[in-house]
A and B are shown apart, each in its own frame.
Chain A
């Protein structure tokens, strides 16, 4: 086959099915990834009009599971070490955004105690995470 001469046979591999398969695999893994998260299973309270709290990344997530166990960014933390763990999670960040993901079954006392602990570590203002009624959300 000489250059410039129109080829009769198409010699290139058809990559379209390959790309499709790869994209579908990518989608499957991305759907599975959040469910493989190690953090606690928190059943967030349902409300009608929660405000946007931004992206999960860049926030410090303090979770309180159904049994009242404390978690900071997917790490289980004992109540007596909470302030050290929170300081470690904040690190050198000057204006950290802390949010509380509390389970719907909790008493207000358990959430208030965590808020007080956060305040005693030196932070004011948190976001209380809810999920909009009718949405999936974790």
Chain B
């Protein structure tokens, strides 16, 4: 087979037909654009049972994380990423800096069966909602399948 130095007069169309390719790519683009904004991300939590008997004794094994507005004064949305360093939380009656939270939660819950890996949150009403979600996020980064349950703040 011999290659012509000039294209003139060539009866064969040597270019790839890109029209079907473009059509397929556009349709894929459309599919992704429809689906992506509808997908949501967040945290599954259990709701405090206001109607339940609150006088029931707290089980020994319950791991309670207390977030108070004096030890962790985040009352407006925290800037940037993460949680301000001056935030202290109470985990199982021990006051710890919030940065130690994932490690401590992982140490305490590692040996437990999966269904008992739960963290009970007692959150001060005055705290900022975004800060609360970021602390939940931090706690979950220690234990992948952590269950979050809210309890009434005291």
Q: Among A20, A34, A109, A126, which residue has its beta carbon within 8 angstroms of that of B45?
A: A126
By the criterion CB–CB under 8 Å, are B76 and A105 in contact? yes
A125 within 8 A of B: yes
Residue-wise, chain B 24-53 has the 8 Å CB interface mask toward A (1 for contact) of 001101100111011111111111111100
B87 within 8 A of A: no
Q: Among B40, B125, B134, B150, which residue has its beta carbon within 8 angstroms of that of A47?
A: B134
Residue-wise, chain A 15-43 has the 8 Å CB interface mask toward B (1 for contact) of 01001100100110011001000000000
B19 within 8 A of A: yes
Given the contacts A49-B140, A125-B45, A27 and B33 also touching, CB distance less than 8 Å: yes
How many A-B contacts are there with CB distance less than 8 Å? Answer: 153
- Expressed in whole angstroms, the Cα–Cα distance for A59 and B44 within the complex equals 13
Who on chain B is nearest to A52 by CB? B41
Looking at the assembled complex, report how far the CB atom of B90 sits from the nearest CB atom of chain A, in whole angstroms: 16
Residue-wise, chain A 103-135 has the 8 Å CB interface mask toward B (1 for contact) of 111111111100110111001111111111100
Q: Which residues of A contact B41 (CB under 8 A)?
A: 50-53, 129-132, 137
Residues of B at the A interface (CB closer than 8 Å) are 19, 22-23, 26-27, 29-30, 33-35, 37-51, 75-77, 81-82, 123-130, 132-134, 136-137, 140-141, 150
